[in-house]
Amino acid sequence: MRYYKFNIDEMHQNRVFMEYREITEDSKGDLLSRSFPLPAIGAVEPKFLEMVAGPIVGIYYEARGDSEIRETNYINKNTTISDEDVAFMIQAVEKACIHKQWDDLLKPPSVDEQVEDFIKEFFQDNQEQPLEQKDFLAEFFAELEVESKE
């Protein structure tokens, strides 16, 4: 028997949560879980964003053996999830938890990426044109040459 859990919380956390566990009569496997920022995983797989488009604020699917919970959450109501979407969610849980397909989205940004983000946030928004690049060594030697001729 397999346990699947898929949850998109767009309303409060803006994240996608997935869990998987293999359970047999003899043993229980480890609970494998992943949590991704919705914008990041949505950039890789747009279906995640499509599932919570418009007035939808969340998706919840859980399967334990023959028992299933299927909910599309709106502010004021809940509806069921289509079989097509359930198939996508099961595949997504397996890709994320078993195959670790999107684990690169969980890595912290490198120092270079952090510096680039800092520069973009604080400096590039205020500039209307790109910075002029100068060759300071060439200017320095040109000034020395002019001084030496005087």
Q: In 3D, which of 23, 1, 6, 24 has the Cα closest to residue 95?
A: 6
Domain ranges of the chain: 2-106, 111-149
pLDDT at residue 127, rounded to an integer: 57
Q: In 3D, which of 66, 51, 58, 62 has the Cα closest to residue 19?
A: 62
pLDDT in tens, 105-147: 998 878 888 888 888 777 765 556 666 777 888 888 888 888 8
pLDDT in tens, 67-88: 999 999 999 999 999 999 999 9
